Structure 1
Amino acid sequence: MGEKRLNERVLSPEEFVSGYQYITEYLKAGLPLCDVLKRALKYFEDQFVDSYCTIMLLNSKGTEFVNGAAYSLPDDMLEKFMHIRLFDGLGTCGTAAVRGELMVSPNVHNDRTWRSFANVVKPYGLKSCWSVPVFKPGTSDIVAIFAVYSKYSRYPTQRELDTLSAYNELLGLIVSNYKIDDSGEIEQLDLNEDDNLNSKTLYVESIKTGLKNGEIYPYYQPVLKSDGQELHGVEALARWEHPEKGLVPPIDFVDHAEEYDFIDWLDEVICRRACEDMKKLMDDTGKTFTLSVNISAVHIRKQNFAQRIEDILDETGFPADCLAIEITETSLIDNLTEVAVTFQQLKNLGVKIAIDDFGTTYSSLNYLKYLPVDTIKLDKTFIHDVDKSPIDRRICKTIIQLGSDLELDVVAEGVECDQHLSIIQDFGCNIYQGYYFSKPLTLEGWKNYLEQF
Structure 2
Amino acid sequence: MGEKSLLEERVLSPEEFVAGYQYITEYLKAGLPLCDVLKRALKYFEDQFVDSYCTIMLLNSKRTEFVNGTAYSLPDDMLEKFLHIRLFDGLGTFGAAAVRGELMVTPNVYNDKSWKTFSNVVEPYGLKSCWSVPVFKPGTSEVVAVFGVYSKYSRYPTQRELDTLAAYNELLGLIISNYKVHDCGDIQPLNQHQEDELDSKLLYAESIKTGLKNGDIFPYYQPVLTSDGQKLHGVEALARWEHPEKGLVPPIDFIDHAEEYDFIDWLDEVICRRACEDMKQLMDLTGKKFMLSVNISAVHIRKKDFAQRIETILHETGFPANYLSIEITETSLIENLKDVAVTFQHLKSLGVKISIDDFGTTYSSLNYLKYLPVDTIKLDKAFIHDVDKSPIDRRICKTIIQLGCDLNLDVIAEGVESTKHLTIIRDFGCDIYQGYYFSKPLTLEGWKDYLEQF
| TM-score over 0.5 (shorter chain) | yes
Measure, in 1, the Cα distance between the counterparts of 2:185 and 2:124: 23
Moved more, 362-371 or 426-435: 362-371
1:222 corresponding residue in structure 2: 223
1:299-325 Cα distance to aligned partner (Å, 9 max, x none): 111111111110110111100000000
Deviation at 1:95, TM superposition (A): 3.8
Match runs of 1:267-346 below 5 Å? 267-346=268-347
Structure 2 counterpart of 1:445, one-letter code: G
Within 1, Cα distance between the matches of 2:423 and 2:314? 37
Distance 2:373 2:331 in 1: 17
1:205-216 correspondence to structure 2 within 5 Å:
205-216=206-217
- Cross-structure match for 1:262: 263
- Between the aligned partners of 2:124 and 2:453, the Cα distance in structure 1 is 57
- Number of matched pairs: 311
Correspondence for 1:190: 190
CA contact (8 A) 1:378 1:396 kept: yes
The 3 A distance-change label for structure 1 pair 380 and 189 is same
Computed over aligned residues only, the root mean square deviation of the Cα atoms, in angstroms, reads 3.3
TM-aligned CA distance change 1:211 to 1:366, over 3 Å: same
d(CA) in 1 for partners of 2:117 and 2:234?
Answer: 55
Q: Percent identity?
A: 75
Give the aligned residue type for 2:259: E
Match of 1:441 in 2: 442
SS at match of 2:315: helix
Structure 2 match to 1:360: 361
- Per-residue CA deviations over 1:17-70 (Å, capped at 9, x if unaligned) read xxxxxxxxxxxxxxxxxxxxxxxxxxxxxxxxxxxxxxxx99559xx9989xxx
Secondary structure in 2 aligned to 1:247?
Answer: strand
Q: Which residue of 2 is the match for residue 400 of structure 1?
A: 401
Structure 1 alignment gaps of length 5 or more: 1-56, 68-77, 101-140, 143-177
Q: Which aligned pairs between 1:158-197 and structure 2 lie closer than 5 A?
A: 189-191=189-191, 192-197=193-198
One-letter amino acid of the structure 1 residue matched with residue 190 of structure 2: D
User: How many Å separate the matches in 2 of 1:372 and 1:354?
Assistant: 9
* Residue 380 (1) aligns with residue 374 (2): no
| Match runs of 1:36-51 below 5 Å | none
SS of equivalent to 1:334: coil
Q: Is the CA contact (8 Å cut-off) linking 2:58 and 2:67 kept in structure 1?
A: no
Q: Does 1:236 find its partner at 2:237? A: yes
SS in structure 1 of the partner of residue 453 of structure 2: coil
- 1:434: how far off? 0.2
Counterpart-to-counterpart distance in 1, 2:187 and 2:212: 37
The one-letter amino acid of 2:189's match is: L
Cα gap change, 1:186 to 1:439, in 2 (>3 Å): same
Q: CA 1:422–1:66 in structure 2 vs 1: closer, same or farther (change >3 Å)?
A: closer
Kindly indicate whether residue 450 of structure 2 is the aligned counterpart of residue 452 of structure 1: no
Could you say if the C-alpha distance between residues 405 and 259 of structure 1 is closer, same or farther in structure 2, counting changes exceeding 3 Å?
same
Flag the 1:95–1:384 CA change in 2: closer, same or farther, 3 A: same
Residue pair 1:58, 1:66 contacting (<8 A) in 2 also: no
TM-score by length of 2: 0.63
Cα deviation, 1:206-254, whole Å, max 9, x if unaligned, reads 1111111111110000000011110000000000000110000000000
Structure 1 or 2, whichever has the larger Rg, is 1
Q: Label 1:365 to 1:185 Cα distance change in 2 as closer, same or farther (>3 A).
A: closer
Query: Cα 1:400–1:213, aligned 2, differ >3 Å: closer, same or farther?
Result: same
Greater alpha carbon shift after TM alignment, 188-197 vs 319-328? 188-197
**Are the equivalent residues in 1 in contact too, given 2:67–2:186 (CA < 8 A)?**
no
Task: Please tell me the residue identity of whatever aligns with 2:205.
Answer: V
Change (3 A) 1:438 1:195: same
Distance 2:213 2:127 in 1: 27
Aligned partners of 2:58 and 2:66 also within 8 Å? no
Change (3 A) 1:260 1:422: same
Contact 2:220 2:443 in 1 (8 A): yes
Q: Does structure 2 retain, via aligned residues, the 8 Å contact 1:179–1:189?
A: no
Task: Decide whether aligned partners of structure 1 residues 427 and 188 sit closer, same or farther in structure 2, where only a CA change above 3 A counts.
Answer: closer
Give the 3-state SS of the residue equivalent to 1:193 in structure 2: helix
Q: How many Å apart are 1:94 and its aligned residue? A: 3.7
1:334, distance to aligned residue in structure 2 (A): 1.9
Instruction: Answer whether contact 1:89 1:95 (CA < 8 A) is retained.
Output: no
Three-state SS of the structure 1 residue aligned to 2:319 is: coil
Matched residues in 1 for 2:257 and 2:433: separation? 30
Given that 1:218 and 1:239 are in contact with CA atoms closer than 8 Å, whether structure 2 keeps it comes out as: yes
